[in-house]
Amino acid sequence: MLRSLVYRLLPLRCVVCELHPGGAPATSICTQCEADFFSAETARCERCAICVPDGQTGAPRICGRCLANGPHFDATTTLADYVSPVDGMVIALKFTARLDLAQLFGRLLASRLSSAMPATDDAVVMPVPLAFERARQRGFNQSHHIARAFAIAAHRRLIVDRLLRIRHTPPQQSLALKERRRNVRGAFAVEGSVSGQHVFVVDDVMTTGSTLDEVARVLKQAGAAHVHNLIVARTP
C-alpha cells in the first residue's frame, strides 16, 4: 500500500517506457505505449476475446470454439494479450501491490467500452471474488480494485457483496481445461437479486475462461440478463 502511495506522490512516468507522459497529469501511461500495447484494433472473438484471423468477417465475430460450445457469458472485452509488457504489469499489481496499475486498467477498460456502454441503469459491475486464503495472504483483491476504477470512470454501480466465492479452489495455472472446469464448479454463488441486470464481471487475466464461465453460469441462473467480462489480459 505504501508503494502505491509513493507512485501517486512522485512525478508520474509512463509505467511502460518510464518517460514522462505527454498527456494529463492523472495518466500513468504515455500515448505511444497505450497505442502500442493496448490497441483496440486486434481482431478478437466477441464472446471469449481470443484472437481470430484478421480476414474473418461477419457480425458478430465468433471463434469456432464458441460456436461449437458456447460459454454462459455473452461477451468479453480485453485490453491486451497476456504478453510482455502487460503480463509484467499484471504481476506487479498482484504481487507488489501496484494499485496504481488497477486505476490505469480500470480507466482503459472504461475508455474501451465508452461507445458500447449500455444505456440501461440495470448495468452493474462485479469483481470476481478471490479465494479467502489468497485474499488473506495478499491483503487485497486486484479484481476489486480494477472493478472500482472502471465503475468510477464508467459511472456504473459497483457491487462487491452479491457474487460470492463459497468454496476454496486450488490455483488453476497447472490444470488442464477439463480439470479447470471441475475445479471451479460450485465455487461461486449469488446472494440477492440480479434479475434482468446487465452484469460487467471484472477479472485480471483470462486463460481458458473456466472461472468466468462458472461465474456467468451462476449469474444467469440467478436471473442476470447479460454477462459481459472485462479483463485486463487474455492468454493467447
Instruction: Provide the pLDDT for residue 104.
Output: 95
If you search the block for the grid coordinates 512522485, which residue do you land on? Answer: 10
What average pLDDT score do residues 185-212 get? 94
Quickly state the pLDDT bin for 26 (edges 50, 70, 90). very low
Which pLDDT score is estimated for 158? 98
pLDDT in tens, 43-97: 999 999 999 987 555 567 999 999 999 999 999 999 999 999 999 999 999 999 9
Integer Cα distance of 224 and 201 in angstroms = 12
Q: Could you say which architecture CATH assigns to the domain 40-234?
A: 3-Layer(aba) Sandwich (3.40)
Pairing relation of β-strands 198-206 and 188-190? Answer: unpaired
pLDDT at 8 exceeding the cut of 70: no
What nine digits make up the cell of 226?
Answer: 447479460
What is the C-alpha radius of gyration for the chain, rounded to an integer number of angstroms? 17
- Specify the range with the lowest mean pLDDT, choosing from 24-33, 115-124, 153-162, 205-214: 24-33
* Domain residue limits, the chain: 40-234
Lowest average pLDDT, out of 157-161, 207-211, 218-222, goes to 207-211
